[in-house]
Amino acid sequence: MILRSPILSACLVFSTACLIAPQVAAQGGPPPKTYFIEEVVDFTGNGCQATNVNTITALLDQYLESSGWSGLRLIEFECFPHDWREACSSSFGPSGLDSYYADDAKFTVYAGHGLQGGGSLFFGWPHLGVCNNILGTNSRLGSMAGKRAGYAMYLTSCTLKTTSLVAHANFQWTYQNIGFHNSPGIHSDSPAGWFNCTSGASNASCWLLWMQSDDQDEDTNTPIIVSYGATAAQANLVRDSTKMKDVYPGDFQYGGRPSAPSCGANQPLFFYNWVRIYNGTGDC
Amino acid sequence: MKPTYQWSLPVTLVLLACATDVENPSKRTSLGGAEQVAIATERPTYAIVSPDVADSHLVGRARRLAEIVLGKALVDAPFQESLARSVADSSRSWDGRVDAVAPGLHVRYERSTDTLMVTNPEFESKIPEVENDPPASESAARLVFDAVIVQLEQAGFISASDYDLKNVHVGWTDYIVSTRSDEEPPEPRILNFRFSAPRMIDGLPFRDGRLRVAIHRSGRVASIKLRRAAVQLVQAGRSVPSKVSLPECEARFRREHPNGSVRLAQVAYVLPSPDADGVAEPKCVVSFSEVTPQPEGPPVVARQQQVRYSLADASAEPVVLPIHDLVPGDPRPSTEP
């Protein structure tokens, strides 16, 4: 059987929850909680050279599943930069696949590396000769084709460097972009710990709590969470109230923010804020 | 309107807003940066033994720490009941962690690392809606931090001389208010300052034990975290000869990691695993990020790593953390457009 959607594939493979969820959605209930994770840990000798890292999303994957979410966790050479590339037009680069992958789930995660200067994701294996994905230039999560991503998490260095937000991450039409302003050390349990924490506290406060320290619990990381809304009040509400685990996030619609720009269109006016714990910028 | 508080501790005397520091200080205290003591010929190793904390004792410790955070005696019965319940349930929780929430406080305890943390969410992470406070001051916050250290010592949590308080790392929580997408982003504002210092063993930093105190811009304590403050250090009966100096291991690091950007290099006591007790021994520790040039465009900045070199044997294989591992994922769907 040919499956074009990873969500549908995941439903067949994993859980009864997602067999139920689409029916609930069809009846006007809450939409399915869907996620998409890509993680690369091997960056040596595969054509996109960098440094090997530890696995940090495996437990998050388990926690999401056990909390009623459904989705995919792809690793290593199965992760393509094009999975994050806008699919609606080649003006974002050819062969975009985001409507089948990163922009086909409410919560989308990449774990790997980023480029100096911020606003990018770096993969371990080249696909069609490409190793990286530039947010904004290539990616338009939450809008255009796919437009289901509501929350994007970048477990990488530099991707949400504050000076890069306007030119890159802010083009993602998500409720929140979650990541780092510097080069973090991330414990294998920390993303799962963050998710677990959000049963009782906001995504933002949990992110700062769980990510300010490195693998050895030293305060070396600069975690940051950027929240968006159509108004300042709405952006504040997203920052202060969204709890990924206990409450279905955002305004509970099946997709990114309302009024998402269509293919190639400019973004409507929006508001954003951020909060971070600053422990340096490092080499970003 | 700015809330008023009943202050009962010396920290009340500090008025952060009156100090002269600017918002967003441009320079920060060195990360770690403990002055390296004279190289000894050999150093003992230490078994790190976490206290076997009885539930009632843990509740008492948490209460005392909560009182320092709140700046007043805690007579809130619901808080203690919540804490006691959480402690009793912790052995059945997902990771043995104690999490207790009470009005105005959050308590967390991790048995495996003897980490006790009390947070006042109002000052730790709540972003004010109205921006009319004067700029925050690091120097004034530092005075509050110093006062908290005194209280921690008086309450028996720490011995201040066990910590490297001359080389405190200073971070901060900052934020920007909600901003129109077509306008220049405003300058960030500081919510709280975060002071952390490593515990010391025989004059060297113990990288797996530390304290952190966060001070809100108002002068209130936002959180206190103590990691391995109560552990016992017992000489493990083995000594490590110091045959390799810090400059020598830094030179080795530069040879082995020519693209490594060093955040911190020092001789320090470390545990084999940060997540469990064990025998701490001195190593040459380098924390760094690899910055790898690419054929085109900016270089790749890797996530942080740490390499540990033996002090006894210059040719010994180093330990690199975190350990590179791989947990299998799902198969990629067989068909794409």
**Is 60 exceeded by the pLDDT of residue A77?**
yes
Using CB atoms, pick whichever of B173, B301, B324 lies closest to residue A114.
B301
In chain B the first and final C-alpha atoms are separated, in Å, by 58
Task: Report d(CA A14, CA A17) in Å as an integer.
Answer: 9
Give A-chain residues touching B256 at CB under 8 angstroms: none
Quote the pLDDT of residue B75.
72
B173 or A216: whose pLDDT is higher?
Answer: B173
Quote the pLDDT of residue B20.
33
How distant is the Cα of A26 from the closest Cα of chain B, in angstroms? 25
Instruction: Find out whether the peptide bond into B128 is cis, omega within 30 degrees of 0.
Output: no
Res. B277 pLDDT band, cuts 50 70 90 = confident
B222 or B100: whose pLDDT is higher?
Answer: B222
B291 or B35: whose pLDDT is higher?
Answer: B291
How distant is the Cα of A148 from the closest Cα of chain B, in angstroms? 18
Quote the pLDDT of residue B76.
62
Res. B29 pLDDT band, cuts 50 70 90 = very low
pLDDT digits (tens, 9 = 90+) for B68-120: 999 988 776 777 777 777 777 765 554 556 776 666 788 888 888 899 999 99
Quote the pLDDT of residue A20.
33
Share of chain A above pLDDT 90, in %: 78
Quote the pLDDT of residue B184.
94
Nearby residues of A238 by Cβ (< 8 Å), 6 or more positions away? A175, A176, A227, A228, A229, A250
Task: Report d(CA A251, CA A76) in Å as an integer.
Answer: 33
**Is 50 exceeded by the pLDDT of residue B55?**
yes
Using CB atoms, pick whichever of B292, B306, B321 lies closest to residue A51.
B292
For B:168-187, CB contacts with A below 8 A are 169, 171-182, 185
Share of chain B above pLDDT 90, in %: 63
Quote the pLDDT of residue B34.
43
Quote the pLDDT of residue B93.
56
Query: What single string gives the DSSP state of each residue in B237-306?
Result: EEEEE--S-HHHHHHHHHHH-TTEEEEEEEEEEE-SSTTS-EEEEEEEEEEEEEEE--SSSSPEEPPPEE
Of B29-38, B75-84, B224-233, B252-261, the range with the lowest mean pLDDT is B29-38
pLDDT digits (tens, 9 = 90+) for A6-31: 333 333 333 333 333 333 344 455 66
Task: Report d(CA B40, CA B36) in Å as an integer.
Answer: 11
**Is 90 exceeded by the pLDDT of residue A134?**
yes
Nearby residues of B20 by Cβ (< 8 Å), 6 or more positions away? B137, B139
CB contact under 8 A, B301 and A217: no
Distances from the Cα of A34 to the Cαs of A24, A83, A133, A136, A238, in angstroms? 14, 16, 22, 23, 19
Quote the pLDDT of residue A186.
96
Q: Element (H or E) spanning B148, and its range? A: helix B138-154
**Is 60 exceeded by the pLDDT of residue A249?**
no
Of A143-157, A204-218, A227-241, B75-89, the range with the lowest mean pLDDT is B75-89
**Is 90 exceeded by the pLDDT of residue B276?**
no
Quote the pLDDT of residue A5.
40
Quote the pLDDT of residue B39.
54
Mean pLDDT in residue range A167-195: 96
Quote the pLDDT of residue B268.
97
Give B-chain residues touching A198 at CB under 8 angstroms: none
Mean pLDDT in residue range A233-244: 91
Q: Do residues B117 and B226 lie in contact, with contact meaning Cβ atoms separated by under 8 Å?
A: yes
Res. A248 pLDDT band, cuts 50 70 90 = low
Mean pLDDT in residue range B147-151: 98
Quote the pLDDT of residue B248.
97
Compare all CA atoms of chain A with the CA of B264 and give the residue at the minimum distance: A220
Place of tokens 């437009």: A147
A28: left (phi over 0), alpha (psi -120 to 50) or beta: left
Place of tokens 């937000």: A165
Helix/strand/coil for A142: coil
Task: Report d(CA B129, CA B322) in Å as an integer.
Answer: 39
Task: Report d(CA A163, CA B203) in Å as an integer.
Answer: 40
Give A-chain residues touching B106 at CB under 8 angstroms: 201
Of B10-19, B152-161, B241-250, B272-281, the range with the lowest mean pLDDT is B10-19
Quote the pLDDT of residue B23.
37
**CB distance from B102 to chain A under 8 Å?**
no
**Is 60 exceeded by the pLDDT of residue B327?**
yes
Distances from the Cα of B259 to the Cαs of A50, B206, B245, B294, B296, in angstroms? 10, 27, 22, 12, 17
**Is 60 exceeded by the pLDDT of residue A229?**
yes
Quote the pLDDT of residue B83.
76
Q: Label each residue of A220-272 as H, E or C.
A: CCCEEEEEEECCHHHHHHHHHHCCCCCCCCCCCCCCCCCCCCCCCCCCCCCEE
Main-chain phi, psi angles of B264, to 5 degrees: -160, 130
Quote the pLDDT of residue B12.
32
What's the mean pLDDT when you consider all of chain B? 84
Domain A12-276 = CATH 2.60.40: no
B199 or A214: whose pLDDT is higher?
Answer: B199
Mean pLDDT in residue range A115-134: 98
